[in-house]
Amino acid sequence: MGGCMHSTQDKSLHLEGDPNPSAAPTSTCAPRKMPKSISISKQLASVKALRKCSDLEKAIATTALIFRNSSDSDGKLEKAVAKDLLQTQFRNFTEGQETKPKYREILSELDEHTENKLDFEDFMILLLSITVMSDLLQNIRSVKIMK
């Protein structure tokens, strides 16, 4: 019964399949929550071809899944959603960019309330553009790669 507490009388009514919807079992837990989304790592694991993938393949597949999970039924991403993803999922790359004209231009394009939505290619170009100008990329380039 989903972890909610029902009285035995309510359970029996529910199990008998009473056709009267107003006789639905009363519950002491909160209203039904939205279905919980499946984690990206579990989604990745469910794609057979990705089970033995490289780090690069996993990175792109992860990006594709995040895009798909956030896009609308047409497979497009609202500009406001794209901006939210940048702020929540790409924060380390956007940090310190606020003063850069190119970054401000990108954000102002996302703020425009036009009908234009981003497809996956647009989204990847957006991420790539921000990555290339990021301070984090400079830090990544200086990482020691040999022992």
DSSP state of 90: S
Query: Rounded CA gap, 49 and 66, in Å?
Result: 18
pLDDT digits (tens, 9 = 90+) for 21-80: 444 444 445 555 656 778 888 887 888 878 888 999 999 999 999 999 999 999 999 999
Read off the pTM.
0.68
SS (H, E, C) 15-72: HCCCCCHHHCCCCCCCCCCCCCCCCHHHHHHCCHHHCCCCHHHHHHHHHHHHHHHHCC
104: nearest Cα among 128, 83, 73, 80: 83
Query: Rounded CA gap, 11 and 133, in Å?
Result: 60
